[in-house]
């Protein structure tokens, strides 16, 4: 089992990724960090608690993450894509004590499991950067980092060149990519955009949830339909919607089915047209740029992804 500490901004693909992690027999979810991003930090924490309740997993601690980027700019939430509360059309009836688990708790988890914790970050990188600032020694004991972020040699989804998770806090992304002691596994937008899940597959899962009386039946299809509608309006040719954050988790358990390149990576932190852009040096030459080297995914097996997604999501009780 892989011990995963999951940093997320609890929008729709994030929430499906959390369910995927709960249901995956190869993942031991040791905690989630609820960050601002797609929604506010408070909504993210509430969504974490809602997912714990639906899946009967209150044992997985939810830590309060960041509520602002290190840039000092006000956060911009994304209701068009993820719904007003990050759950598509759903407004959950649950109250949560938002200060239940203090962020410092993540340090204890890492210290108790040296070189065994894999951090997966699928939102802005503000909390993860804060962990490097606050606990530099502890962060050296993290086994691996997987990050959904950036767009390499293809358009971004916020600006022509920048992807949402990096654009939302490029200072934080820069801290993480310069301070990690090992190459970070980056699963960028140009790759995750291929993780298309169709409405037909979701309908099949929905039927399954209703047949077995699973509580997640309340959530998966309504959230997905909302998310798909947004993508379909933007690109009528799409046959489904990309589950960016699920692919990032999948990449860590099915590494053999992901093609990556170790290349120098830089984040543009100067305000201007390229703010938040991720630049990878893909040149085939010995005089590559002197940025820190990271492992950037360039392709994956779609067939394997879909097969595994469907099987795993059916594991719901
Ligand atoms: C990323 O931004 C969010 O909308 C998604 O949850 C994903 O993490 C894609 O750019
Ligand atoms: Ca996300």
DSSP for 191-204, please give it.
HHTT-EE-HHHHHH
Give the lowest-confidence range in 39-43, 50-54, 123-127, 149-153.
Answer: 50-54
Atom 10 of ligand 1 has which residue's CA nearest to it?
A: 164
| pLDDT beyond 70 at 73 | yes
Q: How far apart are CA 281 and CA 276, in angstroms?
A: 16
Q: Which residues pair with 121 in a beta bridge?
A: 7, 147
Query: Which tens digits make up the pLDDT trace of 260-305?
Result: 999 999 999 999 999 999 999 999 888 887 899 999 999 999 999 9
| Residue 173 pLDDT class (50, 70, 90 cuts) | very high
- 64 pLDDT band (50/70/90 cuts)? very high
Distance 234 CA to ligand 1 centre (A): 16
Mutation to probe ligand 1, out of 44, 245, 250, 251 (largest number of atoms < 8 A from CB): 245
Whether residue 28 has pLDDT greater than 80: yes
CA of 66 to the centre of ligand 1 (A): 16
Q: Which of 36, 120, 165, 250 best tests ligand 1's pocket when mutated (most atoms within 8 Å of CB)?
A: 165
Distance 123 CA to ligand 2 centre (A): 4
**169 Cβ below 6 A of ligand 1:** no
Q: What is the ipTM of this complex?
A: 0.99
pLDDT of 29 > 60? The answer is yes
Percent of the chain at pLDDT > 70 equals: 98
Q: Which pLDDT belongs to residue 65? A: 96
Tokens 């998770």 -> residue: 165
C-alpha torsion 310→314→316→317, nearest 10: 180
Confidence of residue 21 (pLDDT cuts 50, 70, 90): very high
- Give this prediction's pTM: 0.96
Q: What gap in Å lies between CA 101 and CA 87, rounded to an integer?
A: 22
Q: What is the mean pLDDT of residues 134-159?
A: 98
Query: 239 burial class (0-12, 13-18, 19+ CB within 10 angstroms)?
Result: exposed
Write down the H helix ranges in the chain.
12-23, 41-55, 79-82, 105-112, 126-134, 136-139, 164-167, 170-179, 189-192, 199-212, 220-234, 244-253, 302-313
Instruction: Tell whether ligand 1 has an atom less than 6 A from the beta carbon of residue 162.
Output: no
pLDDT score for 96: 65
- In this prediction, residue 97 carries a pLDDT of 59
Contact at 8 Å (CB) between 206 and 221? Answer: yes
User: What is the reported pLDDT for 92?
Assistant: 84
End-to-end CA distance of the chain: 20
Between residues 237 and 289, which one has the greater pLDDT?
A: 237
Ligand minimally distant from the alpha carbon of residue 148: 1
296 lines ligand 1 (CB under 6 A): no
Res. 61 pLDDT band, cuts 50 70 90: very high
Which pLDDT score is estimated for 316?
79
Torsion of CA 217, 222, 227, 228, to 10 degrees: 90
Closest ligand 1 atom to 14 CA: 6
Mean pLDDT of 126-147: 98
Question: Which residues make up the environment of ion ligand 2, defined by Cβ < 5 Å?
Answer: 9, 14, 122-123, 245
Mean local confidence (pLDDT), 109-125:
98
- Looking at residue 101, its pLDDT comes to 83
Between the CA of 284 and the centroid of ligand 2 the distance, in Å, is: 32
Nearest ligand atom owner, CA of 151: 1
């Amino acid at each position: 089992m892989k011990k995963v500490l999951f940093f997320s901004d609890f929008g729709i693909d994030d929430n499906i990724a959390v369910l995927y992690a709960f249901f995956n027999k190869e993942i031991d979810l040791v905690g989630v960090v609820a960050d601002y991003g797609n929604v506010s930090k408070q909504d993210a924490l509430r969504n974490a608690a809602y997912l714990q309740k639906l899946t009967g997993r209150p044992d997985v601690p939810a830590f309060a993450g960041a509520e602002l980027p290190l840039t000092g700019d006000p956060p911009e939430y994304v209701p068009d894509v993820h719904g007003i509360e990050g759950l598509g059309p759903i407004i959950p009836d649950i109250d949560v004590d938002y200060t239940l688990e203090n962020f410092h708790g993540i340090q204890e988890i890492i210290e108790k499991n040296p070189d065994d914790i894999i951090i997966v970050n699928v939102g802005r990188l503000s909390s993860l950067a804060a962990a490097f600032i606050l606990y530099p020694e502890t962060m050296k004991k993290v086994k691996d980092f997987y990050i959904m972020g950036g767009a390499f040699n293809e358009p971004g989804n916020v600006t022509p060149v920048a992807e949402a998770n990096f654009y939302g806090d490029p200072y934080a992304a820069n801290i993480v990519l310069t301070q990690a002691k090992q190459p970070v596994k980056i699963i960028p937008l140009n790759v995750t955009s291929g993780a298309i899940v169709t409405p037909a597959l979701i309908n099949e899962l929905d039927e399954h949830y209703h047949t077995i009386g699973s509580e997640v039946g309340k959530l998966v299809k309504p959230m997905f339909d909302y998310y798909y509608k947004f993508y379909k309006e933007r690109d009528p040719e799409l046959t489904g919607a990309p589950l960016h954050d699920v692919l990032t988790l999948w990449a860590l358990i099915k590494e053999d089915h992901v093609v990556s390149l170790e290349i120098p990576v830089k984040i543009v932190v100067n305000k201007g047209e390229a703010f938040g852009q991720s630049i990878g040096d893909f040149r085939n030459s010995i005089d590559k740029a002197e940025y820190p080297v990271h492992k950037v995914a360039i392709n994956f097996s779609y067939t394997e992804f879909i097969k595994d997604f469907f099987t795993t999501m059916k594991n719901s009780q």
